[in-house]
Structure 1
Amino acid sequence: MTALREFVLQDLFKFNRIVFDPLTEVYPLLYFYNKILEFPLLAEVAVAPDGQMMGFLIGSRQVDGADRVGDGKDLDLNNNHGHVCTLSINHDYRCLGLGTHLMKRFNNRLELKQDLFVDLFVRSRNVNAIRLYKSLGYVIYQKLPCFYGDDDGYDMRLPLSRDVERRCLQNQEYLMGILFLLLRLPRKYLISLWHALLKLLTKKLF
């Protein structure tokens, strides 16, 4: 039976087989060390009956103190959110729903904190991970060109229950709405709009 427990520092010497997967980002040990110490309740590992590490998730939180008013308890005035720093599953234990289970447990912890949303970064070519995140409700918020040096990245977000109006996706939905409207315009209007934009830029620059 799979056992879920808190990720401890000793696990940093056991997870090489997992983190050296081609689609898992390799960070310095100090990165993991700092995250685990700062957010111990947001780091979890799944262990097989024989003690082998099956997978793990390490997360963090961003507490937006700049937006707080008074004692900071007015939830509508803060942008607190969680971040999935890394999720990785041992190749031998994939397709068992383990990644889904770890992600849901992480999201539930942030729900208890009444955070606004959860976000994560993923390689654009990691189609299996993107499919998993979309099945959990995550949306591609923006594309990040050359984010990984040799590959583009996606910033994906999941609005939590407090974000009833999906505020965390508004910028993305606004831009998509504008793009949709532009694509519906006749070609001659698009050309005219482009020329007008060029004239405006020329005046600004010169």
Structure 2
Amino acid sequence: MHGPASSGWLLVALCAVTGAYCLLRMRTGAEGERGTTGGEALMGFGMAVMAVPAAAFTPPAWAWPAYAVMFGAAGLHALWAARAGAHHLHHLVGAGAMVYMSVVMAGSPGHAHGGGGSGVPLLTGMLLLYFAGYVLLAGTRLVPVAAVAGSGGAGRGTPARRWGDRPELARACRLSMGMAMVAMLLTL
């Protein structure tokens, strides 16, 4: 994507760590959540690859259309899975945004990260508004809630949860991927 190399590498690191955590969550999560978590891992790694600064690596001409096809398939999967839950609609919007960014980058001169493609301003703005709202909503879900008296914790009669089963970490990952999407759209 466009932008300074240092912020690009920070974005790569954030997305790669998020994708790796999502892969680890797939191992510990419930069977019904594995598809959602796998989609989040794909999104994290895909965003990490797309955010690599152009000074470090310029992808071949076929890479951007391949990204568009891959995220298009992920979007179709999210659309199919949306029958079961509303969160899959967010995955559909995210996959659509990745397809959009891939198509814009494929149309930019030289197919480079910083090639100068700007996309459709109205669509970019709508996606920015959606993901900015998502980030704000996800951020409010991370605000600590006062513990209920007698709720207990590890060592107080309730079993300790594994780190992959902690919902606040999953929310933090979703928040970080939302922020990364806003950053990528801003630099488009």
Does TM-score exceed 0.5, indicating one fold? no
Structure with greater proportional helix content: 2
Query: When you count strand as a share of all residues, which structure comes out higher?
Result: 1
* TM-score, normalising length: structure 1: 0.29
- Please identify the structure whose Cα radius of gyration is greater: 1
Higher relative contact order (CA 8 A, sep 6+): 2
